[in-house]
Amino acid sequence: MNGLLRYSHRAMATLFEAVFPETEQGAQSVAETLFEEIDRIENLLSRFDPTSEVSRINREASKEAVRIDSELFDLLGDCREYWEKTDGAFDPAGCLPGRSTHFGQIELNERERTIRFDHPELILDFGAVGKGYALLRCQKMLWEMGIPNTLIHGGTSSVLAIGPGPSGEGWPVGLRHSEDETKIELLDQSLSTSAVHSPDKERSDILDPSRKERLTEHLACTVIGKNPLTVEILSTAFLVMGRDRAEKYVKENGSEGVCEIWGKVSGAN
């Protein structure tokens, strides 16, 4: 696509890209600012980084209440909300195999701003949250900077689109896993796709938190809405819930303004 400025950055085990119209002044500086924020979020949420805040919580919260900053506390509050609304299909405390843990075993003390685990094996994992939260932060920063027209994505599966795009009708995005190879245009919207990415395998990397079993069906689910964090969470939760429960959720939570698109992973039977 001509007339665009593209800047890329590796973070969260994927490649992020920020795209601007060629007329955007200072685009490189804006992209660098966004990438710095994405790195900050990764350093906050990664359970694999021993210096991260989440690693500290995972080490200490089963022994005593741990005081945390307001940003992470608020994010955990969002996670609790979606754990409840999805009946546990989204569960950052129950997404590791071999552990009988769930988000209900986490105590959040709003007054003291502390977190405590009620199970010694509980581990927080923000793998189904990180990119969406990073894009939510980028969305806020772009609004504050007054950038009217840009797209940023993480590995093409998590997308934030602001403004009318190069055509004036939205930013064009292809859905690789949709049943009819749908191409859509995002206008001030976010998109997240969760899928079984290896059709040669018998199971996916996504765990059903209630059954503690990995998903076996080669489905993909794309969720589109205004909030990058919401669509990131729901794309994974809907795969666990299945189409019927996901469609019921969308009908019952219409105020979230999300829609879902289903497909099969390329090469799957």
pLDDT tens for the chain, 269 residues long, are 559 999 999 999 999 999 999 999 999 999 999 999 999 999 999 999 999 999 999 999 999 999 999 999 999 999 999 999 999 999 999 877 778 899 999 999 999 999 999 999 999 999 999 999 999 999 999 999 999 999 999 999 999 999 999 999 999 998 867 555 678 999 999 999 998 755 445 556 787 787 767 787 778 999 999 999 999 999 999 999 999 999 999 999 988 899 998 887 654 44
Query: How far apart are alpha carbons 205 and 140 in whole angstroms?
Result: 31
What pLDDT score does 269 carry? 40
Q: Are residues 257 and 170 in the same domain?
A: yes
Q: Which residues of 209-234 are buried (b: 16+ CB within 10 A; e: fewer)?
A: beebeebeebbbbbbbbebbbbbbbb
- Residue 123 falls inside a structural domain: no
Q: What's the pTM?
A: 0.93
Phi-psi region of 73 (alpha: psi -120 to 50; beta: other; left: phi over 0): alpha
- Residue 124 falls inside a structural domain: no
Count of domains forming the chain? 2
Q: What is the CATH number of the domain that holds 79?
A: 1.10.3980.10
Phi-psi region of 262 (alpha: psi -120 to 50; beta: other; left: phi over 0): beta
Q: Are residues 174 and 67 in the same domain?
A: no
Q: Are residues 88 and 106 in the same domain?
A: yes
What pLDDT score does 85 carry? 97
Residue 174, domain extent:
4-38+129-264
